[in-house]
């Protein structure tokens, strides 16, 4: 039996890539489960020891040492215990050798199921640990099947999945097609480790450039930022750690050979390689290339960049459906506001008008009225105009005799008219009334 077990262990070790210690532990657990079946009425605790070399196993019952035995299934007398171990005392637990009966069909079936389950668990743990360490790496596999739009990719003995959200819009795969993707996530699940791949991640572009450009692999050229619109366009900002190495030229390669290899791997996705700069203004100019920039203003508090371009360059700077501006914004980490020169001029003029209006309103509210204005307002409130007040003598200004229309010197023509129209003789007035 030991020889058969050795052959089985070697076979399982080669097929399942499970180490020998794990297999031996699975056998020990299976024998322990099977041995507990016939001894379940006699012993509450059973332990099995397996020799890793010979695979010979021994079954023990765990019993409590007592002076007087009341439960033979769980206890052993001190006298019998001393025969097995001279150092034992009352209260200790002792391994008592047991000779289990021959394993029946049910016990053998139980042992088989335990071994299979242990091997599956060990295989799942191995796969999980292996792929967990490879997160962020590019893996290659073949499309095994397609389920509800998700690609099931076979990678060795593992089945990975490329969800619909992680697939490029311009790519179509058939069963058997080769696919290269980046490993983004590994999760545990009841059915085993779940390996998730992606074809839309920006890290895929970064890793592909590391594979194609030796200067990036050895650290001479650094990829500072990547902004990607999967299936359409990608912007890559690079910098050189060596002043004698051109970062952009190293990524492009001789006649564009290096960047062309990455473009072909991404099925024709356009790639813009720009020079990195720590100055946001310079980096913005490089990111919006080839559009001409007339003026750039920074708003560091709001992390916003205002860009002014010529009228004929506006669509070029913004890009199709805002793609160029959006990718540049992702690359910089700033919001970019692009306007043409006419709109900018109108906006500035409107802002100046509003500012001047606010200044005038504030000046009227804050500046006090001059003394002349106060005097004029007071004079207007009086019953006599200002001109009449200047001609009145001091005696006439006394409160006993207020100024009236008769005290004012009217023009000569007006005086004659008033003399003619106004009766001066009181007797004549009485006769007229009569």
Fold classification of 278-367 is GMP Synthetase; Chain A, domain 3 (3.30.300)
Q: Which of 47, 43, 83, 49 is nearest to 64 (CA)?
A: 43
Q: Which of 229, 324, 313, 322 is nearest to 284 (CA)?
A: 324
pLDDT, mean over the chain: 77
The pLDDT-based confidence of 252 (bands split at 50, 70, 90) is very high
pLDDT digits 0-9 by tens, 11-27: 777 777 777 778 788 87
CATH code reported for the domain at 212-276: 3.30.300.20
pLDDT of amino acid 319: 87
Is domain 2-127 in CATH 3.30.1480.10, yes or no?
Answer: yes
Is domain 135-200 in CATH 3.90.550.10, yes or no?
Answer: no
| Numbered ranges of CATH 3.30.1480.10 in the chain | 2-127
| Numbered ranges of CATH 2.40.50.140 in the chain | 135-200
3-class secondary structure, 332: helix
Average of per-residue pLDDT across 301-318:
88
- Of 63 and 358, the structure prediction assigns the larger pLDDT to 63
pLDDT digits 0-9 by tens, 343-356: 767 766 676 666 65
The pLDDT-based confidence of 365 (bands split at 50, 70, 90) is low
pLDDT digits 0-9 by tens, 109-131: 777 788 788 888 888 888 888 88
- Of 282 and 362, the structure prediction assigns the larger pLDDT to 282
Structure tokens that stand for 271 in this block? 């790639």
Structure tokens that stand for 88 in this block? 């034992």
Q: How many CB atoms lie within 10 A of CB 319?
A: 18
pLDDT digits 0-9 by tens, 380-401: 444 444 443 344 343 444 444 4
Query: Any idea which of 292-306, 361-375, 415-429 has the lowest mean pLDDT?
Result: 415-429
| Numbered ranges of CATH 3.30.300.20 in the chain | 212-276, 278-367
Model pTM score: 0.62
Q: How far apart are CA 168 and CA 267, in angstroms?
A: 9
pLDDT of amino acid 13: 73
- List all residues 6 or more positions away from 203 whose beta carbon is below 8 Å from its beta carbon: 136, 182, 184, 226
Rg over alpha carbons for the chain, rounded to the nearest Å, is 50
Strands (E), 5-157: 46-50, 57-66, 75-77, 93-98, 138-147, 150-155
pLDDT digits 0-9 by tens, 65-74: 888 887 777 7
Whether 179 and 162 have beta carbons less than 8 Å apart is answered as yes
């Amino acid at each position: 039996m030991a020889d058969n077990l050795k052959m089985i262990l070697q076979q399982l070790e080669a097929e399942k890539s499970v180490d020998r210690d794990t297999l031996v532990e699975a056998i020990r657990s299976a024998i322990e489960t099977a041995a507990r079946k016939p001894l379940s009425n006699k012993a509450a605790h059973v332990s099995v020891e397996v020799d890793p070399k010979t695979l010979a196993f021994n079954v023990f019952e765990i019993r409590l040492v007592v002076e007087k035995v009341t439960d033979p299934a769980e206890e052993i007398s001190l006298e019998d215990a001393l025969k097995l171990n001279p150092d034992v005392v009352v209260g200790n637990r002792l391994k008592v050798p047991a000779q289990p009966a021959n394993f029946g069909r049910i016990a053998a079936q139980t042992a088989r199921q335990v071994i299979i389950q242990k091997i599956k668990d060990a295989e799942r743990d191995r796969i999980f640990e292996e792929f967990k360490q490879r997160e962020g790496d590019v893996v290659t596999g073949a499309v095994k099947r397609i389920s509800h739009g998700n690609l099931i990719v076979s990678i060795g003995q593992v089945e990975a999945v490329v969800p619909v959200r992680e697939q490029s819009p311009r790519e179509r795969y058939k069963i058997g097609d080769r696919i290269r993707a980046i490993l983004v996530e590994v999760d545990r699940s009841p059915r085993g480790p779940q390996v998730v791949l992606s074809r839309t991640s920006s890290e895929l572009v970064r890793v592909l450039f590391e594979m194609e450009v030796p200067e990036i692999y050895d650290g001479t050229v650094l990829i500072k930022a990547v902004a990607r619109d999967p299936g359409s366009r990608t912007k890559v900002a690079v910098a050189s750690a060596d002043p004698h190495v051109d970062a952009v030229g190293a990524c492009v390669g001789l006649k564009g050979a290096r960047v062309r290899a990455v473009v072909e791997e991404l099925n024709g996705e356009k790639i813009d390689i720009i020079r990195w700069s720590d100055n946001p203004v310079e980096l913005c100019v490089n990111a919006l290339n080839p559009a001409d920039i007339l003026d750039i203003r920074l708003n560091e508090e709001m992390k916003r960049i205002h860009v002014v371009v010529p009228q004929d360059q506006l669509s070029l700077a913004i890009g199709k459906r805002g793609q160029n501006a959006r990718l540049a914004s992702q690359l910089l980490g700033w919001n970019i506001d692009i306007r043409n020169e006419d709109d900018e001029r109108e906006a500035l003029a409107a802002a100046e008008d509003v500012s001047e209006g606010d200044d005038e309103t504030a000046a009227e509210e804050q500046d006090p009225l001059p003394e002349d204005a106060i005097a004029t307002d007071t004079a207007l409130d009086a019953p006599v105009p200002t001109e009449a007040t200047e001609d009145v003598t001091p005696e006439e200004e006394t409160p006993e005799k207020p100024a009236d229309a008769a005290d004012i010197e009217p023009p000569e023509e007006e005086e004659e008219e008033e003399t003619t129209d106004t009766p001066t003789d009181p007797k004549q007035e009485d006769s007229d009334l009569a």
